[in-house]
């Protein structure tokens, strides 16, 4: 089913939508089930939030279930892609820093992906900024800035990693090894 796949990309995709990593790996049934479950959890959480009589504990439980679904989908997608890859692809893929691992780490928290790429100052600044924006006194502007930081950090990590010396050639070669 469909050649070599980048495992860290498959692990990063479910953080945006559980099941997206399985779509990338071409496991349509698993992807459909995970996407349906994710939508069901989102609708349930929204319904609980809108019903004023329901305790906040129920909303928190729905959010925790949605978070667990993202983690489980991410792990399953990574393992699926990794097990199906050829040995040559895996050796080549792991020969240098992996741009998609940097993206995955930056999706979890802005900064660690940059630290992984040895962009120490950028990573430390992103971590400090994210922590500072989450302090309780920030209000809506700080919340929006933190959300923007979480969206932009993975893109910056990816582009910083492929701009590294020799990495652009590796990304092009990986594309040739994986004809989708």
- CA nearest 18: which of 41, 47, 2? 41
Residue pair 126/107 in contact (Cβ under 8 Å)? The answer is no
Predicted TM-score (pTM) of the model is: 0.76
Residue 104 lies in a domain: yes
Average pLDDT over residues 153-161: 79
- CA nearest 47: which of 63, 35, 36, 71? 63
The H or E element that residue 81 is part of is: helix 56-84
pLDDT: which is higher, 180 or 29: 29
- What is the dihedral sign for C-alpha 47, 49, 50, 56? positive
pLDDT: which is higher, 101 or 150: 101
Residue 166 belongs to domain spanning: 96-177
Residues 102 and 46 in one domain: no
For position 171, what pLDDT does the model report? 53
Query: Residue 86: pLDDT above 80?
Result: yes
Residue pair 103/153 in contact (Cβ under 8 Å)? The answer is no
For position 59, what pLDDT does the model report? 79
Residues 49 and 106 in one domain: no
Residue 19 lies in a domain: yes
Residue where one domain finishes, among candidates 56, 85, 114: 85
- CA nearest 91: which of 99, 82, 100? 82
| pLDDT per residue as tens digits for the range 117-140 | 888 998 899 888 888 877 777 667
For position 57, what pLDDT does the model report? 82
Residues 76 and 142 in one domain: no
Residue 73 lies in a domain: yes
Token pair in block for residue 125: 């600044």
Token pair in block for residue 117: 């790429």
Listed in sequence order, the DSSP H helices in 85-177 are 87-93, 99-108, 112-116, 120-133, 139-162, 167-177
The H or E element that residue 38 is part of is: helix 28-50
Number of domain units in the chain: 2
The CA distance from 48 to 35, in Å, is: 20
Count of positions (residues) in the chain: 180
- CA nearest 161: which of 115, 106, 97, 109? 97
| pLDDT per residue as tens digits for the range 45-78 | 888 878 767 777 887 888 899 899 999 999 999 9
């Amino acid at each position: 089913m469909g050649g070599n796949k980048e495992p860290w990309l498959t692990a990063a995709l479910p953080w945006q939508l559980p099941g997206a990593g399985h779509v990338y790996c071409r496991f349509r049934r698993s992807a459909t089930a995970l996407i349906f479950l994710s939508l069901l959890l989102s609708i349930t959480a929204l319904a609980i939030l809108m019903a004023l009589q329901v305790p906040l504990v129920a909303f928190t439980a729905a959010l925790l279930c949605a978070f667990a679904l993202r983690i489980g989908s991410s792990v399953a997608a990574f393992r699926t892609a990794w097990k199906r890859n050829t040995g040559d692809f895996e050796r080549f893929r792991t020969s240098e820093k992996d741009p998609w691992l940097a993206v995955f780490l930056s999706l979890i928290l802005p900064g660690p992906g940059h630290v992984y790429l040895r962009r120490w100052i950028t990573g430390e600044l992103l971590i400090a900024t994210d922590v500072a924006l989450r302090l309780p006194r920030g209000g809506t502007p700080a919340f929006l800035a933190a959300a923007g930081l979480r969206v932009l950090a993975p893109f910056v990590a990816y582009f910083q990693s492929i701009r590294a010396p020799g990495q652009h050639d590796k990304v092009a070669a990986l594309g040739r090894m994986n004809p989708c």
